[in-house]
Chains A and B, each alone.
Chain A
């Protein structure tokens, strides 16, 4: 009974927050509701027994995406009054409804299939090099997906850079913020590293840890304790690329010397996964923080 009450409340809250975020009168309120939506969604994932997704949603979906949206709102001109007209809604419905019908038709046959994936994952888990099924799927069985995710993240940063350098004037730092970030940033780095290490046998991983690293970087930058990140410095570019580069190198190496693209030899799998995740966490952290705080403001 109590469980149903909790789950029902969470579900209703989620729907209400989603509707509120879409229909909010001002963009500012919409972003706030979206962040609250992300936090409740993280709770829902945790209730569904998917702590990996809950961690990622809380760190990236609610935290960093909210900050990104706020940064975008701050850079926007004040010309947003006439944003809610009827015509775009109608056009959106005309596009989305046929798409939804098509997708549902495609989904119906899959309902009849018996899910044999969990058994198949469980039987291959000993060869994957890690003991946590989610990490095994993300970095071994479906490593291509994660490789492409890293590429997407890099493309997002490059695309954002094409729109012009981010102008992010950091306000004069307050001593209190500096003192607190001196305490908080090491804790964030510790927790991020713990999540990375834990990913091999329990919920955690590079994306969640990377988001925490990025939070520490952004916090230190906003407190004025970290020099501005310079796009022109080659170490920064190398760090941004290293996750993807190492992943591609492993892919090419396994294709050339081993059984095929990204099929690791079982004896090496654990070490390879840890190396890829360590490189990826650095790339993810710096990409996300560059997206949020940008580089040095010109002039």
Chain B
């Protein structure tokens, strides 16, 4: 019973993650200016990967397979937040110059 519940939960989380990835990609393509594109890309991707990681953890068979995706997610969270802020700063500087 718990087995089936876990599998169902995992599929739900994976599908949710893919939905966020798709939304982020569409936002990246369709939004008008750099700042809103960054907004779509980094936030939706961080959440999307988080959901995918949560979905994969539901199928994990040991502490290592839980810890590894979690670490990857944390690394990506920090790195994408930093990259987003750096790009946003660059955009602002260029706008102030031009």
- A residues within 8 Å of B by Cβ? 174, 176-177, 180, 183-184, 187
Query: A187: nearest residue on chain B (CB-CB)?
Result: B75
Q: Check B89 for interface membership: any CB of A closer than 8 A.
A: yes
Q: Is the interface of A mostly helix, strand, loop or mixed?
A: helix
Chain B 68-98 against A: per-residue CB contact (8 Å), 1 yes, 0 no? 0000000100110010011001000000000
| CB of A5, distance to nearest CB on chain B (Å) | 15
| CB of A70, distance to nearest CB on chain B (Å) | 14
Complex Cα gap A184–B89 (Å)? 20
Give every chain A residue within 8 A of B82 (Cβ-Cβ): 176-177, 180
Give every chain B residue within 8 A of A184 (Cβ-Cβ): 79
Complex Cα gap A34–B85 (Å)? 25
A174, A183, A187: the one contacting B86 at CB < 8 Å is A174
Complex Cα gap A165–B79 (Å)? 31
For B, the interface residue count at a CB cutoff of 8 angstroms equals 7
Give every chain B residue within 8 A of A187 (Cβ-Cβ): 75
Do A183 and B85 touch across chains, with their CB atoms under 8 A apart?
A: no
- B residues within 8 Å of A by Cβ? 75, 78-79, 82, 85-86, 89
Query: A181: nearest residue on chain B (CB-CB)?
Result: B82
Give every chain B residue within 8 A of A177 (Cβ-Cβ): 82, 86
| 9 A-B pairs closest in CB distance | A180-B82, A176-B85, A176-B82, A177-B86, A180-B78, A174-B89, A174-B86, A177-B82, A176-B86
Give every chain A residue within 8 A of B75 (Cβ-Cβ): 187
11 extra A-B contacts, CB within 8 A, seeds A174-B86, A180-B82: A174-B89, A176-B82, A176-B85, A176-B86, A177-B82, A177-B86, A180-B78, A180-B79, A183-B78, A184-B79, A187-B75
| CB of B14, distance to nearest CB on chain A (Å) | 14
Query: B75: nearest residue on chain A (CB-CB)?
Result: A187
